[in-house]
């Protein structure tokens, strides 16, 4: 467990905040798609730890900075939203298995719905140092309306094209973020392509159906509810197909949160 202090906790949009926490320099390098369990120090203890994906990570000589983007949906996130700079935080992590980067997949499509933009931005930042000259990178963000599209300023500085879709057409194309996909996948070689996605479960389920006939591989980060965050309580079980096609239970916190989209038994969710 790490102890850090908030450097800022700013509102970006209604119910959506951007927080940075300063941690000791020994905090390990996270990989995109990993998350932490975070809570204010003191108070009600571990019951208030909440999982948040890592949005950005920076390291200086004497400290590390973790950034988060989060939406206020209930008690835990409401409590986080009221914290001010210098507040002490307890952080467990980095946790879970993040996105896998295969160098041979030179055509990468990053798809984020809502707060899924947090791990997808970290992945884009990570790829910035990895993408070779001819590699293709497309980033697609989706939300209900323009007020809910957050993090664009940060992602604009990343390599690759940025494409936006909103349900009401108030920014970018009118429709779902998954509607953007056919334009980018048409005629692409599934052996050289990888889609990375994070967003609401309904979006990921629709994506699984859309991709099934195409053979294009996709890794999804599942942001299901969690309790312990370390594989001890079975509170985040998901059913997946193992290598022999048998249905088995896996923990999102320990075996995920990133899974291959075709491994997940979507009928069980
Ligand atoms: C690996 C992982 C990474 C995550 N990363 C982020 C992130 O970067 N930014 C962010 O805003 N959120 C993220 N979440 C979701 C976040 O953890 C929850 O929104 C938070 O725990 C809710 O706590 P609460 O006490 O505020 O709400 P609660 O009081 O626990 O719940 C309030 C309402 O929100 C619903 N809810 C709670 N958790 C979830 C969930 N995981 N998905 C959908 N609905 C939920 C409940 O059903 C309830 O209706 C992540 C979740 C996981 C598992
Ligand atoms: S949250 Fe406890 S096992 Fe995953």
CATH number at residue 204: 3.40.50.80
Residue 229 falls inside a structural domain: no
* Residue 259 located in a structural domain: no
Which bound ligand lies closest to the C-alpha atom of 37? 1
pTM of the predicted protein model: 0.94
Q: Is 232 in the pocket of ligand 2 (CB under 6 A)?
A: yes
Of 66, 95, 124, the last residue of a domain is 95
Instruction: For 33-43, write each residue's pLDDT tens digit.
Output: 999 999 999 86
Q: Which domain holds residue 64?
A: 2-95
Query: Which ranges of 82-138 does DSSP label H, i.e. alpha helix?
Result: 117-128
Does residue 154 share a domain with residue 174?
Answer: yes
Residue 57 tokens, joined: 């990570």
Do the Cβ atoms of 11 and 49 come closer than 8 Å?
A: no
Do 134 and 199 lie in one domain? The reply is: yes
Are residues 89 and 16 both part of a single domain?
yes
Among all bound ligands, the one having the nearest atom to the CA of 258 is 1
What percent of the chain has a predicted confidence (pLDDT) above 70?
Answer: 97
Q: Which atom of ligand 1 is nearest to the CA of 70?
A: 11
**β strands within the chain, DSSP E:** 2-13, 16-24, 35-40, 50-53, 56-59, 63-71, 88-95, 107-113, 136-143, 161-166, 173-174, 193-198, 218-221, 237-241, 247-251, 258-260
The ligand minimizing its distance to the Cα of 227 is 2
Considering the domain architecture, whether residues 115 and 207 belong to the same structural domain is answered as: yes
Q: In this structure, is residue 60 part of a structural domain?
A: yes
Residue 153 and residue 129 share a domain = yes
Choosing from 56, 74, 255 the residue with most ligand 1 atoms within 8 A of its CB, the one to mutate for a pocket test is 74
Domain count, the chain: 2
7 in Cβ contact with 27 (< 8 Å): no
Q: Report CA(257)–ligand 2 centroid distance (Å).
A: 11
Supply φ then ψ for residue 235, to 5 degrees. -80, -5
- The Cα 126–Cα 132 span in angstroms is 13
- State which of 48, 63, 95 marks the end of a domain: 95
145 and 40, same domain (yes or no): no
CA-CA distance, 94 to 28, in Å (whole number)?
7
Residue whose CA lies nearest to ligand 1 atom number 32 = 74
Domain assignment of residue 233, yes or no: no
Q: 257 preceded by cis ω (within 30°)?
A: yes
CATH code of the domain covering residue 54:
2.40.30.10
Q: Are residues 53 and 112 in the same domain?
A: no
Same domain, 166 and 208: yes
Of 95, 117, 145, the position where a domain reaches its end is 95
- Of ligand 1's atoms, which has the minimum distance to the CA of residue 48? 25
| pLDDT tens track for 194-230 | 999 999 999 999 999 999 999 999 999 998 778 888 8
User: pLDDT by residue (tens digit) across 20-35?
Assistant: 999 999 999 999 999 9
Going by pLDDT thresholds of 50, 70 and 90, the confidence category of residue 46 is low
pLDDT tier at 103, thresholds 50, 70, 90? confident
- Are 157 and 219 in the same domain? yes
Q: Please, which residues have CB within 8 angstroms of residue 158's CB and are 6 or more apart in sequence?
A: 121, 124, 125, 127, 128, 137, 139
**Residue nearest ligand 1's atom 1 by CA:** 223
Same domain, 163 and 194: yes
In this structure, the answer to whether residues 123 and 69 fall within a common structural domain is no
Same-domain status, 75 and 12: yes
Residue 262 lies in a domain: no
Residue 91 lies in a domain: yes
């Amino acid at each position: 467990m790490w102890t850090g202090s908030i450097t800022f906790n700013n509102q970006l949009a209604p119910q959506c905040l951007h927080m940075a926490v300063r941690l000791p320099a020994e905090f390990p390098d996270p990989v995109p798609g990993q998350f932490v369990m975070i809570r204010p120090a003191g108070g009600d203890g571990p019951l208030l730890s909440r999982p948040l994906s890592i949005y950005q990570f920076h390291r200086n000589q004497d400290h590390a900075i973790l950034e988060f983007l989060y939406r206020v949906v209930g008690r835990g996130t409401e409590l986080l939203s009221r914290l001010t700079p210098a507040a002490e935080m307890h952080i467990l992590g980095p946790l879970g298995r993040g996105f896998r980067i295969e160098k041979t997949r030179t055509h990468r499509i990053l798809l984020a719905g809502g707060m899924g933009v947090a791990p997808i931005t970290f992945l884009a930042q990570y790829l910035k140092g990895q993408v070779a000259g001819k590699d293709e990178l497309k980033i697609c963000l989706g939300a209900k309306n323009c007020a809910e599209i957050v993090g664009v300023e940060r992602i604009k500085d990343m390599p690759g094209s940025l494409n936006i879709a909103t349900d009401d057409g108030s920014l970018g194309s009118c429709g779902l973020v998954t509607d953007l996909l056919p334009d980018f996948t048409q005629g692409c070689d599934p052996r050289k392509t990888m889609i990375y996605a994070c967003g609401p479960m309904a979006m990921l389920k629709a994506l699984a159906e859309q991709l099934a006939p195409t053979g294009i591989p996709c890794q999804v980060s599942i942001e299901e509810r969690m309790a312990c965050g370390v594989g001890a309580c079975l509170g985040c079980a998901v059913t997946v197909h193992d290598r022999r096609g048998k249905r088995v239970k896996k923990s999102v916190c320990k075996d995920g949160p990133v899974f291959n989209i075709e491994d997940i038994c979507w009928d069980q969710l």
